[in-house]
Amino acid sequence: MSQQAQSIDTRGKHRVLAELKRLEQETRFVEEELEQLDKTESVSSACKELLGNVEAKPDPLLSETIGPVNPSWDRWFEGPQDSKGCRCWIF
């Protein structure tokens, strides 16, 4: 075999070995993930518990209205009641 043919063959082997090593690493990674999934409890029960905890506590960034509600504040959070009176382009 000539020197050039031998070097081409070596590069081909290197590519195949590199791809094989990558696939082996991927396989190990997937096997580790499967082992972790086997060890965890049911996801739906964890989600139910989390949802219960979140819904039970008020949002700390939102103030709680205690007492009568001020209807004048609604104008800041709702669109204009009369679209003819609004000259802005957003609404």
Q: Spell out the domain ranges in the chain.
A: 3-77
Is 91 within 8 Å of 79 (Cβ atoms)? Answer: yes
Is 41 within 8 Å of 50 (Cβ atoms)? Answer: no
Tokens 């679209």 belong to which residue?
83
Beta-carbon contacts of residue 79 (< 8 Å; ≥ 6 apart): 91
Q: Is 3 exposed, middle or buried (0-12, 13-18, 19+ CB in 10 A)?
A: exposed
Residue type, 57: K
Is 91 within 8 Å of 80 (Cβ atoms)? Answer: yes
Question: What does the pLDDT profile of the chain (91 residues) look like in tens digits?
Answer: 566 656 667 778 888 999 999 999 999 999 999 998 888 777 777 788 888 888 888 777 777 767 666 777 766 666 555 556 555 555 4
